[in-house]
Structure 1
């Protein structure tokens, strides 16, 4: 079976689609093939056919902390955002990989469940949150996740416990294997609904105040080095506001790079490299990217 034959099964598959339509930076080249599975069965079919045809396979979620190079991505790109079901049973919340973590957090809050307040302003998907142990304002995915269900390269569903996911700062086991996150279950606690929502609204207001949400961006670009904060380092190195093409180190929050208009992924990547080079010169620190950079050069 060829990939496009799956269209007859009702799976949304498109050809030569600009991925800039889906990334938060509004940059990125074309996907050779792009698919939006609606459920696990469709995801399985796509993976099976891609592997049978030796087709490169890339899976992404909400593309909020992602840079896709201008050369695009060969083979099949799967975007999981149509797999977005959220279910709540008692104090457990199970969300499909494509559900937004912020939507999951608010769904929990509306059922008086506390623990996910930190995620109130995180725009990524559940799959992405598991993949990179997403966090903010003192909380991380590892603090509340009970298990993740994945699709293995062999096409089998498998559960990983919190401990088995090997979480660390912006890292999980999923980054080191070819498993695809299908869903995650979070173990929360009963709380006061109004207090939970107040905390989430406060964190969102703080985010709007501190972060350059008025421009497209890929969120926090760099991982925090031990004992340092990235933004102040960039400011002291004289780089805040530096611009290459349409990509600018934000004048509002130096830990962000924003698209001031018509930026390319190459602009972003060149600015990242410039910042890394300068920080190495000034502080002798190797800045590592939090943002994931993928695609053809």
Structure 2
């Protein structure tokens, strides 16, 4: 299907104002890297998400889902087909001890909303920079807590454009994994069941976690967050640090001197710089400690030479 034909059809099923053509994706990633999307769509309702996904499925057009781009690297060749941004689905509703949030809502904001309603259970998320959709996608966690601990259900759209409900158990939430990843679903909404708590205790815990995060993580530079999953029996950052790799730079990207588990864009680095540095770190740690490091960050898109 030709690009002009796709655009014509898209304008028939969704509002023109949510469609952008040849949109630079570096505007939407924390690493500040990424080529162009053929079509960048920002639906404002779950029904629009269904319409777009159904159209793509019926016409064999690839769809890539994008939250707030905090744990992703997009290559300079960009992404073919449709990039579907969920950021406009950013509502947060509270009812008794439950919070329902759109997939585009920042999990930090949901954590703060829980605090404001004196609900405990989401304090761990007060420093996680991802969206709700991304947090469910990878079962985001920090400081001993994870999405699995408090999520009730998620509304997801499958590849055929069908809206389905997945309970906590059905989501198969595991360490940085879920059925959302395995089945190429897109989260449009999630509900959390929390517990009434004490405001001073909730605030004290959030203050402590925020201080720990700010003192240890390199928040002053663009990054993709924690780069590697935790290898069994080890800590990725400690292995990288013990490999004398802190400060090692390829292009404009370097292993953070503040926290070895992070890679920061210090001088106009590219996605290729990130990938090359990731591979270098993997090779050195493997050679030195015989431990395989697996990326936690998602790396997507085409290499520049692949784009036609």
* TM bucket normalised to smaller: over 0.9
Matching residue of 1:23: 29
Structure 2: segments with no counterpart, 5+ residues: 304-308
Preserved contact between residue 154 and residue 190 of structure 2 (Cα < 8 Å):
yes
Matching residue of 2:92: 86
Per the normalisation by structure 2, the TM-score is 0.94
Distance 2:205 2:242 in 1: 32
Distance 2:285 2:150 in 1: 34
Task: Indicate the SS of the match to 2:170.
Answer: helix
RMSD, matched Cα: 1.3
Task: Indicate the SS of the match to 2:77.
Answer: coil
Which of 283, 291, 294 lines up with 1:288 in the alignment? 294
Distance 2:166 2:55 in 1: 25
Task: Indicate the SS of the match to 2:192.
Answer: strand
Which of 211, 218, 237 lines up with 1:212 in the alignment? 218
Matching residue of 1:118: 124
Matching residue of 2:139: 133
Per the normalisation by structure 1, the TM-score is 0.97
Aligned length: 297
Which of 280, 283, 286 lines up with 1:277 in the alignment? 283
Matching residue of 1:243: 249
Give the superposition deviation at 1:5.
Answer: 4.4
Matching residue of 1:35: 41
Aligned residue runs from structure 1 range 197-236, under 5 A: 197-236=203-242
Task: Indicate the SS of the match to 1:164.
Answer: coil
Distance 1:150 1:37 in 2: 14
Matching residue of 1:155: 161
Structure 1: segments with no counterpart, 5+ residues: none
Distance 1:3 1:117 in 2: 43
Preserved contact between residue 57 and residue 160 of structure 2 (Cα < 8 Å):
no
Distance 1:4 1:260 in 2: 41
Deviation digits for residues 189-230 of structure 1, max 9, x if unmatched?
Answer: 000123212211221121111000000000000001111111
Distance 2:11 2:89 in 1: 17
